[in-house]
Amino acid sequence: MDAETRVYAVIGNPVRHSLSPTMHNALFKKYSLNAVYVAFEVSRENAREAVEGIRVLGIAGVNVTMPLKEEVARYVELSEDARAIGSVNTIVNSNGKLLGYTTDGIGARRALERFTTLEGANVLILGAGGAGKAIAYELSKVASVVVLNRTVEKAKALEDFGVKGDALTPENLEYYLELADVLINATSVGMNEDRSLVPREMLKPGLVVMDIVYKPLITRLLREAKEKGCTIVDGLWMLVYQGAESFKLWTGIEADVELMRRVALERLG
């Protein structure tokens, strides 16, 4: 590190367990870039000042995480995708002009495309929170998407993207799962708990099942899906690919996702 070192960061709260510094610093090293990636704990009340800080300090690129993704979108110039979902997870500092992007949806798409073809597929997403929305928006560009959510209004609100929104009930789950090629858990259910929204008997061989949760890496949903002969895609793949998309926006380099996953797994222990 020297006076020329470019600084990158993740802002949000909590950030102390973020895997982003681990993944991006490994990439900077691999590609011999004079850059460092750090974490700044920022509360929602300080979002505006934090964005100003990026500008005045000349921080080269930033990932934005909970609870700032929507708030930060008010203070930067938005890409078409970021505008559509009203959320920013990546900022590019282009000579003082801050450009806001979202790579959550494309991260999920690339992760899935590693294992399956999405063109024309029937995709069922559980959850219409920030993650569900980003994924539904991106996948609706290539696939036929249904979103089920506990709070039905939030699922219905996504119909602007040309997806079908409905309530997360056992009947709807059974009905739409019968038609699905791909199932995605975009809720927090299963995080640090052995619980799944999908009864085991509803999972069928050939289904591709992705979970956005990566703690544990193999959630109950993924474990049961694997037992039933489904293809499984864990949440770390989505995290790695969203990071790779951010890295590409900052450096133009197609990141080594295997390296990112390896160092993230080491960090997770």
Which sequence positions are flagged as catalytic?
A: 69
Q: Can residue 154 be called a binding residue for ligand ATR (CB under 6 A)?
A: yes
Beta bridge partners, 217, equal none
DSSP of 150-163: SSHHHHHGGGGGT-
Q: Which stretch binds ligand ATR (CB under 6 A): 42-50, 125-133, 217-225, 248-256?
A: 125-133
One residue of 90, 93, 187, 196 binding ligand ATR per CB under 6 A: 187
Residue of this chain nearest to ligand ATR (CB atom): 129
Neighbours of 47 (CB within 10 A): 22
Query: Would you count residue 131 as binding ligand ATR (CB under 6 A)?
Result: yes
Which of the ranges 31-39, 143-151, 200-208, 258-266 carries the binding residues for ligand ATR, by CB under 6 A? Answer: 143-151
24 close to 247: Cβ distance less than 8 angstroms: yes
Min separation Cβ 244 and ligand ATR, Å: 20
Phi, psi (5° rounding) for residue 149? -140, 145
Under the binding rule (CB under 6 A), the answer on residue 129 touching ligand ATR is yes
Looking at 61, 100, 127, 165, which residue binds ligand ATR (CB under 6 A)?
127
Interatomic CA distance for residues 255 and 258, integer angstroms? 9
Question: Does residue 132 belong to the site contacting ligand ATR (CB under 6 A)?
Answer: yes
Strand order of the β-sheet with 231-233 is 164-167, 144-149, 122-126, 182-185, 208-211, 231-233
Q: Does 151 bind ligand ATR (CB under 6 A)?
A: yes
Site membership for ligand ATR, residue 130 (CB under 6 A): yes
**149 belongs to the binding site for ligand ATR (CB under 6 A):** yes
- The residues near 75 (Cβ < 8 Å, ≥ 6 apart) are 47, 48, 51, 52, 98
Query: What residue ranges bind ligand ATR (CB under 6 A)?
Result: 127-132, 149-151, 154, 168, 187-189
